[in-house]
Amino acid sequence: MKVDIALPAADPAEAGRAARAFEEHGFDGVLSFEGPHDPFLPLVLAAQATTGLELTTAVAIALARNPMVCAYMANDLQLISRGRFRLGLGSQIRPHIEKRFSQTWSRPNARMREFVLAMRAIFRSWNERAPLRFEGEIYRHTLMPPFFSPGPNPFGPPPILLAGFGPSMIEIAGEVADGWIIHPLHSVSYVDHVALPALHAGATRAGRDPATIEISAQTIVMVGSDEAQIARARQGARLQLAFYGSTPAYRGMLEHHGWGALQPELNRMTREGRWGEMSALISDQMLAVVGVCGTPLEVGRKLRERNRFARRTSLVLYDETGDAATLATILDGLRADGAAA
């Protein structure tokens, strides 16, 4: 199993130093989120500071961009990293697309499917020097003069991964993407009974072998060296889960576990600005179902057992140890008994 970790989001200028440290610790890859900063630019620094680390946007918001813009960015990062870039895309939710990015929101599943197909057509036009003729219902790309084509990429086009939460979007990932990125708000039961059947249905519809689709599980990890530290890590995770749980689009997983009534209550509290009170609604049971917690060695072993359905595990880390050895210990636990891929 490969293991990824997120680059620090506070200062993009630190991405190179952080990526180099993660590579030295033994991680397989780093993730760059679309949050307070652009997800692509930190990976340029990370690529220049490392030699083997895989570099993933997890995720870049596709519906805030267009296929051509993403294709140029992805192709350039594939060149800069010498074949180590992985394009992770997500749709985001309607308020962000319309009110933050001022873009059109309609038929997100159809848009994401067509977005990926359009990108593949663009990559083919560059790598195979074929005419660009993509005419979908939503996106049209039919112009690629030689001056604007980067030509064949010596490392090939990067893999395209989709983040999907509900069954319909997960089916799209199974149909058109190289991999599926699992949102941190998930459970083993939800993956087994809802998500994997959807992924397999999408793959089957496209005549693909589901086993060829890489699954990457972003997992909340609450770690400390003693009970007090673990308790503080759990509180940080509660705040994050309260934020996730307030989002209507994520209600499906909560309903799967009988927690559906929690979502509108958390959403109401966000509208009232009661952010500090929301974490009290996240139960110990929810923390246990959604994440793993314990000492560094314990959480590594728990991750190995929990994420048996995934080819990669991405740590969403709430770390109260302050100890640089924590990461290495988590990796030791996760990869014990020949578990490393």
**Mean pLDDT, residues 176-188 taken together:** 97
Check whether 340 has a pLDDT greater than 90.
Answer: no
Q: Using DSSP bridges, classify how beta strands 160-163 and 134-135 pair: parallel, antiparallel or unpaired.
A: unpaired
**Which three-class secondary structure state does DSSP give residue 262?**
helix
**Mean pLDDT, residues 294-307 taken together:** 94
Check whether 338 has a pLDDT greater than 50.
Answer: no
pLDDT at 335: 82
What does 62-81 look like in DSSP terms, one character per residue?
A: GGGS-HHHHHHHHHHHHHHT
Q: Which of 217, 183, 214 is nearest to 199 (CA)?
A: 214
Q: Alpha-carbon distance 81 to 68, whole Å?
A: 20
Contact 53, 19 (CB under 8 A): yes
Contact 334, 3 (CB under 8 A): yes
- Local confidence band at 76 (pLDDT 50, 70, 90 cut-offs): very high
Task: State the residue for tokens 């596709």.
Answer: 62
100-139 pLDDT per residue, tens: 999 999 999 999 999 999 999 999 999 999 999 999 999 9
**Mean pLDDT, residues 36-59 taken together:** 97
**Mean pLDDT, residues 150-155 taken together:** 98
CA dist 287 → 21, 129, 284 (Å): 29, 51, 5
What percent of the chain has pLDDT above 70? Answer: 99
- Local confidence band at 9 (pLDDT 50, 70, 90 cut-offs): confident
The rounded mean pLDDT for the chain is 95
- Local confidence band at 281 (pLDDT 50, 70, 90 cut-offs): very high
Contact 129, 146 (CB under 8 A): no
Write down the domain spans for the chain: 217-341
- Local confidence band at 337 (pLDDT 50, 70, 90 cut-offs): low
- Local confidence band at 267 (pLDDT 50, 70, 90 cut-offs): very high
Q: Alpha-carbon distance 185 to 179, whole Å?
A: 18
Q: Alpha-carbon distance 222 to 319, whole Å?
A: 6
What percent of the chain has pLDDT above 90? Answer: 93
Check whether 192 has a pLDDT greater than 70.
Answer: yes
Check whether 339 has a pLDDT greater than 90.
Answer: no
